Structure 1
Amino acid sequence: MKILHTSDWHVGKVLKGQSRVDEHIAVLAQVVEIARDERPDLVIVAGDLYDTAAPSPEATKLVTRALSALRSTGAQVVAIGGNHDNGPTLDALRPWAEAAGVSLRGTVRDSAAEHLIEGETAGGERWRLVALPFLSQRYAIRAAEMYELTAAEASQTYADHIGRLLSVLCAGFGSGTVNLVTAHLTVVGATMGGGEREAHTVMGYAVPSTVFPSNAHYVALGHLHRSQQVVASSHVRYSGSPLAIDFGEEDNAPSVTIVEVTADTAPRVRDVPVTAATPLRTVRGTLAQLSEVDPGEGWLRVFVREMPRAGLREEVQALLPKALEVRIDPDLLRELAEAPGARAAQRAGRSPRELFADYLESRGHADEGVKELFDELYEEVST
């Protein structure tokens, strides 16, 4: 059978105030076109369909249309909720999804059968897929209790609960069937893409690859935005996001993953590039150097190697209209902080204006206009 694996669409994403609706329309249209060309038997969307738990009507329309279009290619379509999605809201869409021929799983239900999806390809290959949406630490414990595994003790870790859940959900895996898992989580040893929500990728949320059964033919993961294979006893892979979510991901290569596998053979995996999104770039330099930059077609993050002053952002944006983020170069700030004579402000007996002026001086910033703006702001807040 052939599988198209994608994840982390983040529809509704706004980048530094810039809507990316048009980019998402183009990206998802390209994903659908890839599905038409590749003719997969199954499409897996491994979570984070939306960028926010309260998506706009426009974002909801775009996601539902994309899922319907993928189904219209003839593939079975399975999508799960991620940490950015509102799981109960996705579950509320299940009547629509079932009518459209899409299997949608937003939250963990009290029946293991809810998370087992089975099918058969046109060529007669049978497949079985365990679909596990994102689980917070609190709900991982609750889910473990629902399946009456063992008492959920406070000392047990998130990884313990995920491992026990998967053990129960995958208990039916056997020979003669392509056994698949999709989940939205962080695996130890995988590389972050750069734009993930940190609280759900670290701080006890990472799990070892041993939580996945060794008899799974392919594990389709979402959550980390960089396409990569994870070292494991089964074939565990992140498809990555089909577009760079923010400037931390500008070096990623957006793609979807195509998998060809049978019950008796190891999966053959390849990435298909997705190029429809506007590229993201970081440029740096003085104003003179930035005036020589070819802006190209991408959105820009600009690190300016100039002393801070009022109006500097506007000067940069006049040179580079597609600059969405303008910052003083962090390397320059570090050099100023480490320069001989740099000192921390002494607070005792000093007014807010004096402290702010001292901070500006420590950063090499002597602009009286900024001090006056601070005075106006401080007076407005304090009165």
Structure 2
Amino acid sequence: MRILHTSDWHIGRTFHGHSTLDALRGVLEALTQQVRDEKVDVVIVAGDVFDSGAPAAACYTLLSDTLRALADTGAQVIVTSGNHDSAARLGFQAGLLRDGIHVLTDPAAIGTPITVTDADGPVHFYGIPFLEPALLRHLWPAARSQADVLGHAMDLVRADLAQRGEGRSVAIAHCFAAKVEPTPQLERDIQQGGLDVVPWSCFDGVDYMALGHIHGRQELAPHARYSGAPLHYSFGEGSKPRGSWLVELDATGLAGVTWLELPVPRRLATLRAPLEDILTDARFAAHEEDWVSVEYTDDLPQREPLRRLQARFPHCAKVVHTPAAARERAGGTYVDRVRAARSDRELVDAFLQHVRDGQGASEREADLLADVLDERTKAEALA
């Protein structure tokens, strides 16, 4: 059996104020073509289908179009909810969906798999929606953390597998899993991205574990992986490849996993140099059509940097002033320096150091300030 593992579509997310719907639609169309070309039997979407609990109408349209196109390839499609999704909104039409599309959002159904059969027999797919411990304590009183609820969910999976006695298995979850073991008597849960850390060992007992939540591909073990998001949603993700895992099961279990690259609609680049160099230097020409984040290193802030940069880089989305050498702010905090000032000149210099990342008045500025302050002193004396 051939399984495509994808996750974290985040339909509706913006990129620095720009809609990503059209770019995501193109990437999901490419993913659908891969499903067709690779003769995939089952497509898994491991949570965070939408970017918010109340997506706009256009987001539902993109999801419907994509699910229908995936089903038209002949593949079964299994979708679970993530922490960004509203399980109720994502799953409210589950009973009305066409055959071959399964949206799993109910914690009560975790131990009941979607079973798909191939020439080697059944494969049981267990969808674990995002589980919020506080909302499940009336059902699972011992659940206090993500590790607790995921551990309980996997116990349900393993119990069902033991009762069936045959068949290969795939579980799907949306969480932050890591190669850690729980530490007794921790006063607070370890969290990442708003989710508790879950020890990856709790996923033992299945042939493949399809994980969502982390936006970069990652292998915790040969049978436990993150596929990452299909689109870059931040400059921090710019160096991470976009794609999905093609998982193959044979008669005995996991036979192999292959990475399938997805197209990147527009590359991301972070440029760091003095502003004038970024505006004029030929070495930055290759990035003129990229999404660009600029960190300009001039000692002082420059006027209208975003407007000037967008004249060369139309898709410049972020500008940050990061002086090349951060100066130490002598004399403690700004409040400390203001309190310590013994004259108006020292007070103005304290303000300039605060807004200029440690750089006070230049010699010319000091002379100008001295003239202005002297004039004010004379005016006050004559008043």
Pick which of 222-231 and 173-182 moved more: 173-182
Q: CA offsets per residue over residues 129-183 of structure 1, 9 Å max, x none?
A: 1100111231343452xxxxxx427xx5431232022101331225541211000
The 1:365/1:139 distance shift into structure 2, 3 A limit, reads farther
* Rounded Cα–Cα distance in structure 2 between residues aligned with 1:287 and 1:311: 11
Hey, what does 1:210 align to over in structure 2?
201
User: Amino acid of the residue matched to residue 21 of structure 2?
Assistant: V
User: Amino acid of the residue matched to residue 360 of structure 1?
Assistant: V
* Rounded Cα–Cα distance in structure 2 between residues aligned with 1:365 and 1:103: 64
User: Amino acid of the residue matched to residue 107 of structure 2?
Assistant: V
**Which of residues 266, 269, 272 in structure 2 aligns to 1:281?**
269
Hey, what does 1:148 align to over in structure 2?
none
The 1:94/1:266 distance shift into structure 2, 3 A limit, reads closer
Hey, what does 1:172 align to over in structure 2?
160
Q: Would you say 1:221 and 2:220 are equivalent positions?
A: no
The 1:13/1:262 distance shift into structure 2, 3 A limit, reads same
Contact 1:218/1:267 (<8 A) preserved: no
* Rounded Cα–Cα distance in structure 1 between residues aligned with 2:288 and 2:304: 24
1:365: how far off? Answer: 8.0
Contact 1:185/1:201 (<8 A) preserved: no
Q: Would you say 1:300 and 2:292 are equivalent positions?
A: yes
Q: Would you say 1:102 and 2:101 are equivalent positions?
A: yes
* Rounded Cα–Cα distance in structure 2 between residues aligned with 1:248 and 1:279: 12
The 1:356/1:138 distance shift into structure 2, 3 A limit, reads farther
Hey, what does 2:79 align to over in structure 1?
79
* Rounded Cα–Cα distance in structure 1 between residues aligned with 2:93 and 2:246: 27
Contact 1:68/1:100 (<8 A) preserved: no
Hey, what does 1:318 align to over in structure 2?
311
Hey, what does 1:163 align to over in structure 2?
151
Q: Would you say 1:120 and 2:117 are equivalent positions?
A: yes
* Rounded Cα–Cα distance in structure 2 between residues aligned with 1:247 and 1:183: 26
Unmatched segments (≥5 aa) in structure 2: 181-189, 366-383
Hey, what does 2:256 align to over in structure 1?
268
* Rounded Cα–Cα distance in structure 1 between residues aligned with 2:102 and 2:117: 15
Contact 1:140/1:162 (<8 A) preserved: no
Hey, what does 1:376 align to over in structure 2?
none
The 1:253/1:212 distance shift into structure 2, 3 A limit, reads same
1:116: how far off? Answer: 1.8
Unmatched segments (≥5 aa) in structure 1: 145-150, 191-198, 369-383
Contact 1:286/1:305 (<8 A) preserved: yes
Give the structure with higher Rg (CA): 2
SS in 2 for 1:225: coil
* Rounded Cα–Cα distance in structure 1 between residues aligned with 2:110 and 2:223: 23
* Rounded Cα–Cα distance in structure 1 between residues aligned with 2:308 and 2:274: 11
What is the Cα-based RMSD across aligned positions, in Å? Answer: 2.8
* Rounded Cα–Cα distance in structure 1 between residues aligned with 2:326 and 2:170: 54
Correspondence 1:350-369 to 2 at 5 A: 357=352, 359-364=354-359
SS in 1 for 2:270: strand
1:280: how far off? Answer: 1.2
SS in 2 for 1:84: coil
Pick which of 288-297 and 21-30 moved more: 288-297
The 1:364/1:126 distance shift into structure 2, 3 A limit, reads same
* Rounded Cα–Cα distance in structure 1 between residues aligned with 2:174 and 2:194: 16
Contact 2:110/2:126 (<8 A) preserved: no
Hey, what does 1:377 align to over in structure 2?
none
Q: TM-score, normalised by structure 1?
A: 0.80
1:337: how far off? Answer: 3.7
Pick which of 222-231 and 311-320 moved more: 311-320
1:125: how far off? Answer: 2.9
* Rounded Cα–Cα distance in structure 2 between residues aligned with 1:129 and 1:288: 56
Q: TM-score, normalised by structure 2?
A: 0.80
Q: CA offsets per residue over residues 312-366 of structure 1, 9 Å max, x none?
A: 332222232211001112x63xx33437x47521267799x97865521444487
Contact 2:328/2:358 (<8 A) preserved: no
User: Amino acid of the residue matched to residue 101 of structure 1?
Assistant: G
Contact 2:67/2:101 (<8 A) preserved: yes
User: Amino acid of the residue matched to residue 203 of structure 2?
Assistant: F
Aligned residues: percent identity?
28
**Which of residues 230, 236, 239 in structure 2 aligns to 1:242?**
230
Hey, what does 1:139 align to over in structure 2?
135
User: Amino acid of the residue matched to residue 77 of structure 1?
Assistant: V
* Rounded Cα–Cα distance in structure 2 between residues aligned with 1:57 and 1:365: 53
* Rounded Cα–Cα distance in structure 1 between residues aligned with 2:17 and 2:328: 33
The 1:252/1:11 distance shift into structure 2, 3 A limit, reads same
Hey, what does 2:13 align to over in structure 1?
13
Q: CA offsets per residue over residues 241-278 of structure 1, 9 Å max, x none?
A: 11211111001010111011124143300000001421
The 1:56/1:41 distance shift into structure 2, 3 A limit, reads same
Correspondence 1:9-88 to 2 at 5 A: 9-88=9-88
1:28: how far off? Answer: 0.4
Contact 2:142/2:148 (<8 A) preserved: no
